[in-house]
Amino acid sequence: MGTMTIKDIAKKCKVGVSTVSRAMNNHPDINPETKEMIMRVIEESNYVPNNSARNLKRSDAKAIAVLIKGIGNTFFNQLISVLERECQEKKYSCILQRVEEGENEVDVALEIAKEKKLRGIVFLGGNFSHPQSKMAQMEIPFVLSTIYTTDTEENICASVSVDDFKESYKMTEYLIGLGHRKIAIITAQREDESIGKLRLLGYQKALEKHGIPFDESLVCYMEMNVDQYSFQSGYKITKKLLKRGVSFTALYATSDTLAIGACRALKEEGIRVPEDCSVAGFDGMDAGEFYIPSITTIRQPVEAIAQATANLLFDMIKKKEQPKRMIFEGELMIRESTDVLPVV
């Protein structure tokens, strides 16, 4: 019975197609008996309506999409869960769409918005520096979650995130407060113009503030090809740093995963954490909490960010709210991987 259509069902039931349609879509004006009969036939026939045809016709979809750049980033999983929960509550369906590293997320957004007749979009991850002309094409509300974008005064994107600059400053200052002066940093690739850069700037600013000269040889940039914020990445970079032979008493990795990779690398060289070297991360992921030693980090309030993202988006959909930037406070989680610099 190859592929059923609504017509086949109509024929089987000896009714018109519209009646079948009404039965499927819970329309009020239909005889309950006819409806039941139709539903039974549908069930028996294993009929599955064609979504493409539906989307083509439908004007109202009650759906949003979440575009995720850089899956594998465990950090997003929690965020997504909350977003999905929130959608369910609002009776919206939530479409998850992964976008490749090389792809342009706005293009993907434009396409899927049209295909699925979306009401709104959430962007997760990515650098997000797109020309204004491109952004203007987005006819539906969208919010950037966990992403920073360098938008101008007159044209602000809706976004919710922590202030990466400030939080990074906070962490660096904490390390300095422990007595560390030679603080190595693992940061995004040189070309990064987004959160990676901000975190680096925060680090620099804190050093400057405390009269510690910025030492380029203590900065480790991630490589382009490898999986950006992975254990592997942190491990390799740290190995390389150690080979360079520069000395440092603290290592600030700009993500918890990087920090964990770094700890492994240090251990292999017989360097104890935190006794010989303090290690700090960023994000506040579970992995860092369970690690031994547990990783000192800046915890992003994921739950709150996700919640705010959903609220802002739905408010924008209802025209109740203009795009705005929302900043959340990160929390310095002092754990086992950092310690005061021992006096020698």
> Using CB under 7 A as the criterion, which residues of the chain lie in contact with DNA when the complex forms?
3-7, 14-19, 21-22, 24-25, 28-32, 34-35, 47-50, 53-54, 56-60
* Strand 219-221 relative to strand 183-187, pairing: parallel
Q: Toward DNA, which CB reaches closer, 62 or 170?
A: 62
- Kindly state whether residue 141 participates in binding a copy of itself, applying the rule CB under 8 A: no
Contact (Cβ atoms closer than 8 angstroms) between residue 235 and residue 266 = no
Report the 10 Å Cβ neighbour count for 88.
Answer: 11
The CB-of-290 to DNA minimum distance in angstroms stands at: 47
DSSP 212-250: PPP-GGGEEEPPSSS-TT-HHHHHHHHHHHHHHT---SE
* Strand 63-69 relative to strand 120-124, pairing: parallel
**232-261 positions binding a copy of itself, by CB under 8 A:** 232, 235, 260-261
- CA-to-CA distance for 151 and 79, rounded, in angstroms? 23
- Kindly state whether residue 137 participates in binding a copy of itself, applying the rule CB under 8 A: yes
Going by C-alpha positions, the residue among 264, 229, 230, 269 that lies closest to residue 337 is 264
| Contacting range for a copy of itself; rule: CB under 8 A; set: 13-21, 145-153, 284-292, 327-335 | 284-292
Q: Toward DNA, which CB reaches closer, 45 or 311?
A: 45
Report the 10 Å Cβ neighbour count for 85.
Answer: 14
The correct pick among 17, 37, 39, 110 for binding a copy of itself (CB under 8 A) is 110
Question: Which spans of this chain sit near a copy of itself (rule: CB under 8 A)?
Answer: 2-3, 46, 48, 50-56, 71-72, 74, 77, 80, 96, 98, 110-112, 114-116, 137, 139, 230-232, 235, 260-261, 263-264, 267, 286-287, 289-294
